[in-house]
Amino acid sequence: MNSKATKADTKRTELKHSRAALWTIQHAVDAVANSIRQLKTLQGHVYGGYRGALSTLQMARHHSLNDRDLNLVEDCVGKLAQRADWPATMRSRTRHESLERPLSDTESSVVASLVGSALAVSAGTLDITEYLDALYGGLAVTAAAAARSAYSVTAETHRKRADKLMFRLDQLCANQRIAWAFAAGAENQPSIFRRTLH
């Protein structure tokens, strides 16, 4: 009788541990899926920052900035373009004479400052995004490792559900927005623009 009771207790304990392991796997899958969603949102913010910066830049390039302000603007553009790996056509100055108008020195400075602010927002978005990109990548890798560790604890009763979750996890880990984090030497990967924006 004691032997039967012990076996029953052992079985209950195994099932309890298996349910907990299954919960861990589910949580890990959710964490990876959420990381991908957040990275997609971050990518949208980067594009939004680019669009705003480029629109402001084009507006400034339609005006006759004085030489000092023009040089400041072009210097800022060049630095951001190089960092963000913009093609040369986006870096170059394209004149639209029909839209140009003369500016006073004061207005020229104000327009140049407006461009500088827009480019600073774009660069700041890039900084924040790269930082969060690395954090979400680390979270996804750790979550996947936790799921794989928990999988070995699952009982036969829960194995079908666990298999489905692990299959989903493998699909998520192959997503282009997060796959870089699982590659060998991920810490040496280039910036977000080479990982997710091209």
Over the stretch 77-89, which tens digit does the pLDDT of each residue have?
Answer: 777 777 766 665 5
For residue 166, being part of any structural domain is answered with: yes
For residue 81, being part of any structural domain is answered with: yes
Percentage of the chain lying above the pLDDT 70 cut: 80
For residue 4, being part of any structural domain is answered with: no
Using CB atoms within 10 Å of the CB of residue 99, give its burial: 0 to 12 exposed, 13 to 18 middle, 19+ buried: exposed
| Tokens (6 digits) for 146 | 């936790």
Residues 35-57, mean pLDDT to the nearest whole number: 84
For residue 14, being part of any structural domain is answered with: no
Range of the domain at 144: 27-195
Identify which has the larger pLDDT, 80 or 167. Answer: 167
For residue 142, being part of any structural domain is answered with: yes
Residues 69-82, mean pLDDT to the nearest whole number: 78
Which pairs with CB-CB distance under 8 Å and at least 24 residues apart come from 52-55? 52/118, 52/121, 52/122, 53/80, 53/118, 53/119, 53/121, 53/122, 54/90, 55/118
How many separate domains does the chain show?
1
| Tokens (6 digits) for 14 | 């195994």
Q: 37 to each of 2, 31, 45, 96, how far by Cα in Å?
A: 52, 10, 13, 40
Residues 140-160, mean pLDDT to the nearest whole number: 90
The whole-number pLDDT of residue 143 equals 95
The whole-number pLDDT of residue 186 equals 47
Give yes or no for residue 57 having a pLDDT over 80: no
For residue 8, being part of any structural domain is answered with: no
Give yes or no for residue 193 having a pLDDT over 70: no
Q: Residue 101 carries which side chain, given as an amino acid letter?
A: R
Q: Is the pTM higher than 0.75?
A: no
Contact 140, 32 (CB under 8 A): yes
For residue 5, being part of any structural domain is answered with: no
For residue 7, being part of any structural domain is answered with: no
Over the stretch 95-125, which tens digit does the pLDDT of each residue have?
Answer: 555 456 677 788 888 888 888 888 888 888 8
Confidence of residue 2 (pLDDT cuts 50, 70, 90): low
